[in-house]
């Protein structure tokens, strides 16, 4: 039976908070990893703390987006962090940037998977029009996913709503969906949210959850998540 894969977003710059999140989300019912973002990575003790997480599955969410040489150099600067399994980059950086990032990643760590970020889950159709896009989110995400595939990225980041659209384009690629909430939770600053079970049914290979798990009683929230995914566990 395949366990649902969940990445817990550790959105803090305080190592003590992240240690608590890790210790309280341990369970044999789920395949748990931890998403570490730019806030913590660039904090005083961030990089050193990450290097010591030898037993955890680490998803480094840096969303790289710069000229190809700078991004490739950034990848090489991560060569000491052998415990990173996933790293995010913005697909909007273009084919050449994606190609150089993928090439550099193979040199430093063959296990490192590069994930292309499509449209952020905090954006809506009106938001992307404000920044100059004329296509709808669905059209834009399909175009971005095709580019990620062409550049031989290992997967994409998209909302659960677009996961269903991208299953055909992204065969054999990771489809990881953020903006996931438990029933009854606020969507907060996210525009395109979804429940865990629905995201997996739409084709997600993994989901990212933050505040729904880390706010309040973490252990209770993990149990709520397990209960909400029970049907998926039984089907697998």
63 is catalytic: yes
Catalytic residue from among 35, 63, 142, 191: 63
Burial of 150 (0-12, 13-18, 19+ CB in 10 A): exposed
Phi, psi angle pair for 136, to nearest 5°: -75, 165
CB distance 15 to 45 below 8 Å: yes
35: left (phi over 0), alpha (psi -120 to 50) or beta: beta
60 sits in which H/E element: strand 58-64
Report how far apart, in Å, the C-alpha atoms of 208 and of each of 11, 113, 159 are: 12, 16, 10
Which residues 6+ apart lie within 8 Å of 168 measured at CB?
none
Which residues are marked as active site? 63
């Amino acid at each position: 039976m395949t366990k649902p894969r969940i990445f817990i977003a550790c959105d803090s710059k305080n190592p003590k908070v992240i240690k608590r999140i890790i210790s309280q989300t341990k369970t044999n019912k789920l395949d748990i990893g931890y998403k570490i973002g730019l806030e913590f990575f660039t904090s005083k003790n961030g990089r050193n703390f990450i290097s010591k997480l030898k037993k955890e599955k680490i998803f480094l969410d840096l969303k790289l987006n710069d000229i190809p040489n700078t991004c490739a150099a950034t990848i090489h600067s991560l060569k000491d962090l052998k415990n990173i399994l996933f790293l995010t980059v913005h697909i909007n950086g273009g084919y050449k940037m994606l190609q150089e990032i993928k090439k550099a990643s193979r040199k430093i760590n063959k296990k490192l998977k590069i994930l292309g970020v499509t449209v952020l889950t905090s954006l809506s159709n009106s938001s992307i029009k404000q920044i100059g896009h004329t296509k709808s989110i669905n059209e834009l995400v399909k175009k971005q996913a095709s580019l990620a595939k062409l550049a031989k990225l290992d997967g994409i980041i998209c909302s659960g709503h677009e996961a269903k659209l991208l299953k055909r384009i992204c065969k054999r690629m990771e489809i990881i969906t953020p903006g996931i909430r438990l029933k009854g939770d606020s969507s907060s600053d996210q525009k395109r949210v979804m429940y865990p079970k629905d995201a997996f049914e739409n084709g997600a290979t993994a989901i990212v959850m933050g505040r729904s798990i880390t706010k309040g009683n973490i252990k209770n929230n993990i149990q709520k998540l397990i209960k909400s995914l029970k049907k998926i566990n039984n089907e697998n």
